Amino acid sequence: MMKKLLLLAHILLAGSLAATSARASEQPADDHVPALEQGQAAFNTGNYGQAFSLWQTLATQGHSEAQVFVGLAYANGWGVDRDPRLAGVWYRKAAENGNPSGQFFLGLYYLSGDESRFAAGLAWLKRAAKNG
């Protein structure tokens, strides 16, 4: 059941990447917007390697939206080898930077693991809900 929930969540977020890109383009003060949009365009055309490369650069600079996208790339094998552990690392970076999507995916990541992380997963999901 949890794997189906995670898959559905990834599909929903992947579908919302265009909306995220549109919101980002409304914020001209963000110097990272062109790279996010280029990553979105590459993703939409199936060029996951290029999308990952663009997002990875921003993610390592601390850009929380890019950190979520890098986490999703690792979770789904988009342009990189699938690696759930690295997905969790990037979700956590985004979550700690206050990104609600990062908080949501970190919560799901913890819930999909062993029972010892269940409480942490619920706490991150609650934080995500509170932050929008």
State whether residue 104 is helix, strand or coil.
Answer: helix
- The arrangement of secondary structure in 2-130, i.e. its CATH architecture, is Alpha Horseshoe (1.25)
pTM of the model: 0.77
Residue 89 predicted with pLDDT over 90: yes
- Tens digit of each residue's pLDDT (9 = 90 or more) over 31-43: 667 889 999 999 9
Q: Report the C-alpha gap between 49 and 124 in whole angstroms.
A: 29
Domain spans in the chain, listed from the N-terminal domain onward: 2-130
The token pair at 117 is 């992380």
What does the pLDDT read at residue 113?
87
